[in-house]
Amino acid sequence: MGCKPIVFMGIMTLLIILVSSPFFSNVFVQGKPISKDNRGHATLTVIFSVDCRSTGGTPSDEAVCDKAQEIAPSSAFPNTIDAHTPIPSSFVGLSNGTVITLGAGHYLIDTDIDQAQEDLEQGLNTEDGVSFDIGASSGDCDNPESGTAQGDIRAGQKQTCIIETTIVVENGNITT
């Protein structure tokens, strides 16, 4: 009986030494190694692209779309992400992507169009207005409704979400 506590403490000491050694620096989640530095976290790259569709544009639809993309590039669209501990939790759209570190689970990205819409309506002199078709066109996310993108991510996973925004202009006029 006197040996059992010593044996138990010896086994615990050995386990602590093994777990803290560099040899055991990886933990496995769902069969995939996760380093100690990013346990439970994932990486999401959000790429934001802007396209344009114009009808009845003056002097031409192409000129109106060129101006629209000048007024509202991808950085004109602020986004927020609802997820487990996202860093950053808000960001502007970037065509080369924004890298977000987040916890495993579901995420929802919301794009705010209000300021871009106001700037476009003024800059394109349109009474018929400007609308947007916003969707997660490809990558690891989908588009449940215009203006949002969503997905699910596992710990240690890297995903890319591509959000395409099409500016829709009717009867825009860029002549002065």
Of the pLDDT bands very low, low, confident and very high (cuts 50, 70, 90), residue 71 is very high
Instruction: Give backbone dihedrals phi and psi of 173, rounded to 5 degrees, phi first.
Output: -140, 115
Give pTM, 2 decimals.
Answer: 0.74
66-94 per-residue burial string, b: 16 or more CB within 10 A, e: under 16: ebbbebbbbebbbbebebeebeeeebebb
pLDDT at 58: 94
- Condensed to tens digits (0 to 9), the pLDDT of residues 80-112 reads 999 999 999 999 999 999 999 999 999 999 999
Distance between CA atoms of residues 174 and 176, nearest Å = 6
pLDDT at 53: 96
